[in-house]
Amino acid sequence: QHTMRENSQNRSTDKEKLKYFIQDPASGILYQRGKLLGKGAFGRCYKFTDTTTNAIYAVKIIPQSIVFKLGQRDKVNKEVALHGTLKHRNIVKFEHHFEDEENIYLIMELCSKKSLAHILGARKMLTEPEVRYYVTRILCGLKYLHQKEIVHRDIKLSNFFVTKNMEVKIGDFGLAIKVDQTKEQKEYIKGGCSWRGHNISNTSVCSSWNRGSTVNRYTMLTGHSPFSTSNLKKMYQCIREGKYTIPDYISPAAKELLTSLMANSPAGRPSLEEIMQHEFFTQGFTPKKLSSRSCHSAPSFHESNPLREVLHKATRILFGEKHYKEAHKVIRKNEHNEICKLEGDLKKVSARFNENEVMGSGPLPPPPETTTIQCSQQTDTEQNLNVQLILRRSLKRNRSNSLFEPDCFMESVANSVARVLKGCLENILDAEQNPMEEADCPLLWVIKWVDYSNKYGFGYQLSDSSTGVLLNDGTHITFHPHIQMVCYCRELGETCVFPINNVPSDLTVKVDILQFFSQYMLQKLLEGGDLYISPEESQKCLYLLHFMKSDQAVLMLFSNGLLQVNFYRDHTKIVLSNHCGEYLLTFINQERKSSVFSLSTILLYGCWTEVHDRLEYALSMLQQLCN
């Protein structure tokens, strides 16, 4: 403790002495010191600018006083000599070093997006495509190190640095050494305890575990270490005994890979080459690049489309690079139509955001009073199909999307569902009763809803017990109680997922509003029907694209194409959904009893006039939404 106190005091003194302009005595280059990037056990890292060329670097500064007191001169020399020999796209580049009377300066490549630890701190957990993107590059760097017979000995997320182009690089070689096969393996063990593996004393230095990759993968996928416990003793016990659990929401391929890497015997763990050939990496989608926005929010992935590449290539040939951008606007519209034909209905999502609406920031209000809306007194067969719109809200659209025009995105889901509904109504037969043959399948639908958009937003509860709110600022937030996870959608196609007990500070108010809506619906509202679905069968990142209120009904349209219309006067509901490629129509009557039919059955046998009229009104609402 005395030594640590001395080091802290020395660093404080050295920081005060540190000059803003520092000159390399050998080359005469003058550097301007910038902001602090990070700090470690023996030094700090700053942003430096070469005043001659304006080149920017990350510079690790090690005080001479600490090097002298702790006898670290050989260690620093070894780090410089070892790091200086490494040249690989996934290794932080070492430029050169110099020293003066006060400090030693290690000049390195700047990674402006900090580290994966910072990204995970902001995101809490990453998507599997992102994990594949980062880990494949990290494995390439590790493979290079092992070919050089170098053991890093401090593999952890904070030592994986990310450049402005989102390339990940291994850095901090302060503990790295060359392998000496004559030494005992325990001499190579370093790093934090939570990053170590079980069988610590006999693990090969080149094993997958000692690379730390297993714990890093687990942490990126789940947001926490596999051996997180309340105290250090229990942590070591879990590590020794290999005690851990893998959450249910992890994909089967990822579970299989993590399980094999967590094997108690080092001999039972896959080699680096076997890891790279595992199904998790070879079969799953891996993006070629990531946007810098993924540092703070989940990216939206669009896999490569052969049609897009052909169209772009043809444009360049026909118009040349000079006119490519202009012609590309036309290509995008044509491409969108073709992709819609190829991928079918309900594959694209849409949104429109009213920029004049801003979410309230005050304290949570008391529960809203139930709103009653005067409805038309016409009979079901004489309903006025000229929809009188009262209110409409939509998810914020993604303004940065460069693949499709915003309007195409906005209208896609609504138009797709409208086409299905219109085609059904044009061919349906009137019948004295609904078909006897009902579909038997799990159904996701809205069992409760509350409109508090005059202050916060529109809330709902689904049949899988999850609750969601489309907030007035165009964002969307959902809570899944069975896994205690929250899914936040900042705008169309941009989502992040985090545990309910680890909420990002900037989302605290929105999570409070979500919990307020959840409690209100739980305590105050009756369920609207008798259909339920197992949480395991639900969709984790489903969000409400639009809700629309007329004088007779409320319409809700979700990102998977689920359409639900609730009628005020008699509390009947219709739900149009897609299950395993087949469209289903659900009708819930005044007694909250449900009937589920496939559209093919409805087209074959017809349906009751009561259902037919409601379908027509739903189509009228949809068409007004599209327009």
Output the known binding site for ATP.
69
- Cα-Cα-Cα-Cα dihedral of 425, 430, 435, 441, to 10°? 10
Of 6, 5, 11, the residue nearest 64 (C-alpha)? 11
Quote the strand ranges of 359-418, DSSP E: 389-394
Token pair of 287 as six digits: 């993006």
**Are the C-beta atoms of 190 and 212 separated by less than 8 Å?**
no
Residue of 14, 154, 464, 473 marked active site = 154
The three-class DSSP label of residue 337 is helix
- Measured CA to CA, the distance from residue 575 to residue 466 in angstroms comes to 18
- Measured CA to CA, the distance from residue 398 to residue 403 in angstroms comes to 11
Classify residue 447 by burial, with Cβ atoms within 10 Å: 0-12, 13-18, 19+: buried
Catalytic, 154? Answer yes
Of 502, 428, 436, 517, the residue nearest 469 (C-alpha)? 517
**Are the C-beta atoms of 308 and 335 separated by less than 8 Å?**
yes
CB atoms within 10 A of CB 47: 16
The three-class DSSP label of residue 120 is helix
Of 290, 286, 287, the residue nearest 167 (C-alpha)? 290
Of 146, 145, 141, the residue nearest 168 (C-alpha)? 141
441 Cβ contact list (under 8 Å, min separation 6):
579, 580, 584, 596
465 Cβ contact list (under 8 Å, min separation 6):
481, 482, 535
- Measured CA to CA, the distance from residue 225 to residue 234 in angstroms comes to 13
The three-class DSSP label of residue 575 is strand
CB half-sphere exposure, 429, CA atoms < 13 A = 12
Token pair of 378 as six digits: 């016409």
What are the Cα distances from residue 421, in Å, to 341, 428, 552, 609, 624? 18, 10, 19, 16, 14
- Measured CA to CA, the distance from residue 575 to residue 194 in angstroms comes to 49
Annotated catalytic residues are: 154
